[in-house]
Amino acid sequence: MLNIALPKGRLGDKVYNLLASVGYDCKSIYDDNRKLVFENEELGVRYLLVKPSDVAIYVEHNAADIGIVGKDILLEYEPDVYELLDLKLGKCRMAVAAKSDYVEDQNRTLRVATKFVNIAKEHYAGMNRDIDIIKLNGSVELAPILGLADVIIDLVESGNTIRENNLKVVDEFKQISARLIANKSSYVFKKEEISQMVDSLRIVV
């Protein structure tokens, strides 16, 4: 039995449809209930619906053998897992954004508001730029408007949220998409099943 951690929400739905299209369906997932575990015993798959940011934790700790998670989470938390496939779903960019009239003053410490503390640190360390990080958990776009930060680092998909809040993208530095990850121990003991799934997905992505 292969335990698959799926992120709850839009991305999870897309990923499930992709998996179902290559033969790993589990009809009960469409039932309107609050269950978080769905199983198709015949096909040997069990889906676990978890919070997107928790997928990597489930996989790293072997509560799930494989999982589908955004590259942003992998960059931020660097879990000790195998990253086997880019599913090319949920595509977006990790970007630096600021108020539309923003001009950087390189003579002072840059204040960066973000959910992705480690990504921000690494990005600016690469430029040797001194920064102050302000960790926020949501509505990051507010930070430059209210003067809380000079710039934000966040995921940008269409760019609408950025524009509507009178911000502009200053720099896009990472391409993000959904990745299929596997627990290292599971990969040893369930290699055939995992490889089979990866191979069939590789054809359709």
Quick check: 135 binds other proteins (CB under 8 A)?
no
Enumerate the β-bridge partners of residue 83. 181
- Given candidates 84, 142, 155, 170, which one binds other proteins under the rule CB under 8 A? 84
- Given candidates 13, 51, 191, 204, which one binds other proteins under the rule CB under 8 A? 191
140 CB-contact burial (10 Å; exposed 0-12 / middle 13-18 / buried 19+):
buried
Which residue matches tokens 């499930």?
16
Nearer to other proteins, 38 or 58 (CB): 58
Quick check: 172 binds other proteins (CB under 8 A)?
no
Which run of H or of E encompasses 84? strand 82-86
Contact 5, 60 (CB under 8 A): no
* Total H helices, total E strands in the chain: 8, 11
Quick check: 184 binds other proteins (CB under 8 A)?
yes
Nearer to other proteins, 25 or 86 (CB): 86
- Given candidates 13, 83, 122, 130, which one binds other proteins under the rule CB under 8 A? 83
Quick check: 129 binds other proteins (CB under 8 A)?
no
- Given candidates 15, 68, 85, 131, which one binds other proteins under the rule CB under 8 A? 85
Q: Smallest distance from the beta carbon of 177 to other proteins, in angstroms?
A: 9
- Given candidates 1, 37, 125, 188, which one binds other proteins under the rule CB under 8 A? 188
Which run of H or of E encompasses 155? strand 151-156
Cα–Cα dist 12/51, whole Å: 10
Nearer to other proteins, 35 or 61 (CB): 61
Quick check: 82 binds other proteins (CB under 8 A)?
yes
Quick check: 73 binds other proteins (CB under 8 A)?
no
Four-point Cα dihedral 47, 59, 19, 202, nearest 10: -170
Cα–Cα dist 110/123, whole Å: 13
Task: Give the footprint of other proteins on this chain (CB under 8 A).
Answer: 60-62, 80-86, 183-185, 187-189, 191
